[in-house]
Amino acid sequence: MTDNSKEDPPVFDKNSKVSINDGSTNGEEHPPQKPQKRQSVLSKAISEHREDAEEETAELLPPSKGLTTAEAEELLQKYGRNELPEKKTPGWLIFVRNLWGPMPFALWVAIIIEFALENWPDGAILLAIQIANATIGWYETIKAGDAVAALKNSLKPVATAFRDGSWQQIDAALLVPGDLVKLASGSAVPADCSINEGVIDVDEAALTGESLPVTMGPDHMPKMGSNVVRGEVDGTVQFTGQSTFFGKTAVLLQSVESDLGNIHVILARVMVVLTSFSFVLCLICFIYLLAKFYETFRRSLQFSVVVLVVSIPIALEIVVTTTLAVGSKKLSKHKIIVTKLTAIEMMSGVNMLCSDKTGTLTLNKMEIQDQCFTFEEGYDLRSILVLAALAAKWREPPRDALDTMVLGAADLDECDNYTQTEFVPFDPTTKRTAATLIDNRTGEKFSVTKGAPHVIIQLVYNQDDINDEVVDIIDSLASRGIRCLSVAKTDSQGRWHLCGILTFLDPPRPDTKDTIRRSKEYGVDVKMITGDHVLIAKEMCRMLNLDPNILTADKLPKVDVNDLPDDLGEKYGDMMLGVGGFAQVFPEHKFMIVETLRQRGFTCAMTGDGVNDAPALKRADVGVAVQGATDAARAAADMVLTGPGLSVVVEAMLVSRQVFQRMLSFLTYRISATLQLVCFFFIACFSLTPRDYGSVDPDFQFFHLPVLMFMLITLLNDGCLMTIGYDRVVASKLPQRWNLPVVFTSAIILAAVACASSLMLLWVALQAYSVETYPNSWFHGLGLAQLPQGKVVTLLYLKISISDFLTLFSSRTGGQFFFRMAPGLILFIGAIISLFVSSMVASFWRKSSPDGLLTEGLAWGEKRSEKLLPLWVWIYCIVWWFIQDAVKVLAHIFMEWVDLFGCVSKAYGGKVIEQYAERIQEPVDEDAPRSPEDDAPIVRETSPVDVSTPYSARKED
């Protein structure tokens, strides 16, 4: 037995931080640390606000005792709902913004030039196209915003308020000044509240950027927008909605627009490359035409500007935004709420999943076992459960799975014989709860605590006497996957006594093992991160076919999480990759683990549910708050799960990869279409001029199309591409990452074949046009004596239009033949409609001279062979489509063979990661011999502990 030096210091001290000594600091309490501040638009304002605390306090409402429903409704009418008006961009402003920017600017230049040249019809057409694009962009933006807003509505915060004499969970928007609310660890502060009594730690990072929590007591006011990270108090709502400090300064916090993250950078690069390339070619064309056909200055300028406008991917961002919005809606059907659209693209590249154990890998349904270990006389399972319930708020809704388990098994009527005077909720840094109580029957005052056994053992006065037995019990239980909860009570001298150890099970979910197997098949490794005992973690890994090699917190590098070095991945990456999980970790360890893996080159997703997971969720590339997560975890996450288990996360990965495939096929096609168009007219301008084939028409000296035909190609293409978000795709077997050199290479191959086929058809058509020079042209074999000038123009319009849409079907299947995967119905219908419109326009275009250029429908004519000309164009295009697709497949085979631009190795994110990917897909041999280190804590040389008698009696024996 030890002396009173083992006595624990007082549990409650309102003048210090809310914390309980767990022995980890040798009994020394760390003083509150001064928060480290970063730059923030509100940090100065909040600092000034705190300086006026005394003046402010005098004007506050007195501590509330709760409201009735009638009182709350009356106050709600007076003060309004407790919510901030979202900064919603007006629809008209969205429309106007779509009329301004780099790409619309180029179209405005073309419109001005057309009107300056007095080409009123063409200028009007370009203006109509500009307005049409802006309208489509406005519609898609509104629709995408409404879709995301609808999903976010399902994540509205709730508050625990004392109404009508009982604690209730209500919509936080219904809070009013004077409400009594519970401010507990893991919850968001729902309004500006004064603290009635006690102290809590509050994370104000969202307001001030302070990296460390701020300790607050009755002289402070936690603000809306912050989160409670430690402690639990009752608070009185003082200000709500726009009257809160956050509401008054919200204009400083709201961002103008949420960008698309990494995909925005990718789109910007693509647009810069395409626009620069097109501008250079069009400028060369303009100079060449001006020099060779000096009398056609206006037409040269008009032609160059229109080709430049058509080549610019005006609808690029609109299509990508629509595709992401459609993806978020599909994810919601899989019980995944996306709070940031950029998370979808990031999730497609995840190759490392750090998963919390409890509730994600396991059922999170704790079941008390009959086996109970007692260490004091007079205690049994029933009485230990009562003590455990006393260390909780037994007449309030359970706050976590452990409280749910204990309160569901304990006799709560027995608990009513006690009055709880102080309570400290669970804290991830102390891993226990505690309460001070008074026995109403005897007047005895004592404290109880429940928590992790390795923490509670540090408190008891006789630790040296019982430590070995407790360790044996824990090891024995952990080796069978059984968890335990220690319960201790103070005596009249304030010394802690270990009363008993409760045992319970949290079995793995039935689908977890198969889900982990699927994750590895898709190139994603799973690392389990838990605060539980290392032996429980080892056993859980064996059950789930994970590597049972577990790293504990004491083996992790000791670094300052507020100033992490840049070489963590280099120094400790291999160590972390060589284990199946981490045990007995704290929040700072989770944060550091995620950062180390990110530095090692992995794209990490992190799942969590508690306030202790929030830092790691924020740091991960994709933070995923699981079902039932706290407000703090959901606020830090990019995705929120409304369904249980890890399988939902895997579904999120697969759906995200499908969205990525759609964006990849769209970008490949759009690059290809631009290159095909601009290169065709560039080459034709130099080498296939109608003048060289006998044309004497001054408006047909070089080959071009009327502006209306150019715009029809653009409009129909963009309209069809709006349906790309609904295309049928297959999720990739590997995580996806952007590799623009590969994307451009694939697009160039498709464009080269399409451009070559267009140039060949133009060559043949010009020969048929100059029948005197070329009497035996290909068209002559079809029974056409001569192809008029108007039909030459229309013929190439139809060919370019058909080739564009057929190229879309080739680009969407990557390195496979187009027929290996059928397109989505909506995309197919959109393409069919666009092709039908193009064919009808080309077939029945009335003979006219738009822009002074003679044009004529292909189906007009007396001979049957003339009326079948559109059909021959279709056959020609389809033949070349098969050739194009075959060349594409062969090119992809070659690219993968030589690993061109890292198309194979970089698909997973680098060769080092690729080698690791091969290793993680090797199954763990469950029957393999275990290492001595694994088995050492489990081997027992003594007989099992007899739990039928208390420890004191066993000690005498």
What pLDDT does residue 95 have? 79
Please name the residues in contact with 392: beta carbons below 8 A apart, sequence gap of 6 or more.
398, 399, 403, 406, 407, 433, 435, 450
* Angle in degrees, 0-180, between the axes of helices 647-687 and 740-769, rounded to the nearest 10: 40
pLDDT at 249: 57
Q: How many CB atoms lie within 10 A of CB 716?
A: 21
Of the pLDDT bands very low, low, confident and very high (cuts 50, 70, 90), residue 277 is: very high
Q: How confident is the model at residue 706 (pLDDT cuts 50, 70, 90)?
A: confident
**Residue 945 pLDDT level (bands cut at 50, 70, 90):** very low
Amino acid at 351: N
Q: What is the CATH number of domain 366-505+942-956?
A: 3.40.1110.10
Residues 6 or more apart whose CB falls under 8 angstroms from that of 45 comprise: 249
Judge contact between 425 and 185, C-beta under 8 A.
Answer: yes
How large is the C-alpha radius of gyration of the chain? Answer: 35
**Beta strands in 425-557, from DSSP E residues, in sequence order:** 432-439, 445-451, 483-490, 496-505, 525-529, 550-552
Work out the burial of residue 47: count CB atoms within 10 Å of its CB; fewer than 13 is exposed, 13-18 middle, 19 or more buried: exposed
DSSP structure string for 427-460: -TTT-EEEEEEEETTT--EEEEEEE-HHHHTTTB
DSSP alpha helix (H) spans, 600-728: 614-619, 631-636, 647-687, 707-721
Domain boundaries, the chain: 50-257, 259-326+654-729+736-904, 366-505+942-956, 508-642
Instruction: Give the Cα separation of 917 and 268 in Å (integer).
Output: 31
Taking a C-beta distance cutoff of 8 angstroms, is the pair 452, 459 a contact?
A: no
Q: What is the mean pLDDT of residues 827-847?
A: 92
Q: Map tokens 């092709």 to a residue.
A: 835
Where would I find the H helices in 189-261?
205-208, 245-248, 250-253
Is residue 228 within 8 Å of 612, Cβ to Cβ? no
pLDDT tens digit sequence for 109-142: 777 877 877 777 777 877 887 787 778 777 767 7
> How would residue 950 be classed by pLDDT, with cut points 50, 70 and 90?
very low
Q: Are 818 and 882 in contact (CB under 8 A)?
A: no
Kind of pairing between the strands at 166-171 and 158-163: antiparallel
Q: What is the mean pLDDT of residues 644-648?
A: 84
CA distances in angstroms from 817 to 523, 754, 884, 900, listed in the order given: 25, 16, 10, 20
CA distance 702 to 203: 69
pLDDT at 690 over 60: yes
pLDDT at 934: 39
CATH number given to 259-326+654-729+736-904 = 1.20.1110.10
Q: What is the pLDDT at residue 867?
A: 80
DSSP state of 923: P
Of 234, 356, 613, 885, the catalytic one is 356
Helix-helix angle 707-721:789-811, to 10 degrees: 20
At 340 the three-state DSSP class reads: coil
Q: Give CA 95 to chain center in angstroms.
A: 28
Of 944, 943, 938, nearest in space to 480 by CA: 938
- Alpha-carbon distance of 733 to 921, in angstroms, equals 12
pLDDT at 403 over 70: yes
pLDDT for 382: 92
- pLDDT at residue number 30: 34
CATH code reported for the domain at 508-642: 3.40.50.1000
Mean pLDDT of 627-635: 76
pLDDT at position 884 = 96
What CA–CA distance (Å, rounded) separates 17 from 265? 45
pLDDT at position 956: 37
pLDDT at residue 774 is higher than 50: yes
Task: Give the contacts of 119 (CB within 8 A, at least 6 positions apart).
Answer: 302, 707, 851
Q: Name which of 151, 153, 154, 155 is nearest 325 in CA terms.
A: 151
Over residues 145-198, the pLDDT tens digits come to 666 666 556 557 788 999 998 989 888 889 999 999 999 887 889 899 999 988
Distance of alpha carbon 784 from alpha carbon 766, whole angstroms: 13
356 catalytically annotated: yes
Q: Quote the tokens at residue 686.
A: 């130099």
Q: What is the pLDDT of residues 33-58, one digit of tens each?
A: 333 333 333 344 444 444 444 444 44
Question: In this predicted structure, what is the pLDDT of residue 418?
Answer: 95
Higher pLDDT: 838 or 916? It is 838
Q: Which residues contact 656 (CB under 8 A, 6 or more apart)?
A: 327, 331, 344, 345, 346, 347, 348, 350
Q: Report pLDDT for 447.
A: 95
At residue 869 the predicted structure's pLDDT band, cuts being 50, 70 and 90, is confident
Integer Cα distance of 525 and 546 in angstroms: 10
Q: Residue 436 in contact with residue 445, Cβ under 8 Å?
A: yes
Length of the chain: 957
Query: Of 159-163, 331-335, 399-403, 450-454, which range is least confident?
Result: 399-403
Is the pLDDT at 487 greater than 90? The verdict is yes
C-beta of residue 609 within 8 angstroms of C-beta of residue 920: no
Return the number of other C-beta atoms located less than 10 Å from residue 864's C-beta: 8
Which range has the worst mean pLDDT, 228-237, 773-782, 846-855? Answer: 773-782
Beta-carbon count within 10 A of 740 CB? 14
Q: Are 288 and 686 in contact (CB under 8 A)?
A: yes
pLDDT at 210 over 60: no
Q: Specify the CATH number of the domain 50-257.
A: 2.70.150.10
Q: What backbone torsions phi and psi does residue 606 show, to the nearest 5 degrees?
A: -130, 130
User: Cα–Cα–Cα angle for 571, 612, 508, nearest 5°?
Assistant: 90
Average pLDDT taken over every residue of the chain: 79
Question: Is the confidence at residue 554, as pLDDT, over 60?
Answer: yes
The 8-class DSSP code of residue 820 comes to G
Highest mean pLDDT among 86-95, 140-149, 483-492: 483-492
The two tokens of residue 129 are: 């196209």
Q: How far is CA 736 from CA 232, 351, 522, in A?
A: 43, 9, 11
